[in-house]
Amino acid sequence: MTPVTAVAQPNIALIKYWGNRDDALRLPAADSLSMTLDHPSVEITVDHSPALAVRSFGSDGTERALNEKMTARFATHLELTKRYLATLGSNAIPESVSVTVRSAIPQSIGLASSAAVFGCLAKAYAGLIAPKVNLTLEQQSVIGRLGSGSAARSLFGGFAALDAGEGGDIGASQARAIADEAHWSLHDFVIIPSVEEKKVGSTEGHAVAWTSPLYEARLEAIRTRRQRECVDAILRRDFEKLRSVTEDDALDMHRVMETSAPPLRYLTETTHAIRLGIEELRRGEHLELLYTMDAGPTVHLLCTDASRERAAAFAKAQKGCTIFETSIGPGARLVS
The binding site for ligand DP6 (CB under 6 A) comprises: 13, 16-18, 26, 32, 112, 114-115, 148-150, 202-203, 206, 294-295
Residue closer to ligand DP6 (CB basis): 13 or 177 = 13
Q: Are 289 and 303 in contact (CB under 8 A)?
A: yes
Please give the Cα distance from 326 to 314 (Å, whole number).
15
Residue 82: strand, helix, or coil: helix
- Could you give the angle at the alpha carbon of 110 between the alpha carbons of 106 and 112, nearest 5°? 80
Helix (H) or strand (E) holding 205: helix 202-208
Task: Supply the minimum distance, in Å, between the C-beta of residue 132 and ligand DP6.
Answer: 28
Residue 55: count of CB within 10 angstroms of its CB: 14
Residue closer to ligand DP6 (CB basis): 148 or 318 = 148
Which strands form 175-179's sheet, in the order they lie side by side?
11-15, 32-36, 159-162, 175-179
Please give the Cα distance from 316 to 322 (Å, whole number).
8
**Residue 84 vs residues 80, 115, 267: alpha-carbon distances, Å:** 6, 19, 36
Task: Supply the minimum distance, in Å, between the C-beta of residue 116 and ligand DP6.
Answer: 11
Task: Supply the minimum distance, in Å, between the C-beta of residue 203 and ligand DP6.
Answer: 3
Residue closer to ligand DP6 (CB basis): 295 or 311 = 295
Residue closer to ligand DP6 (CB basis): 5 or 148 = 148
Task: Supply the minimum distance, in Å, between the C-beta of residue 217 and ligand DP6.
Answer: 18
Task: Supply the minimum distance, in Å, between the C-beta of residue 308 and ligand DP6.
Answer: 23
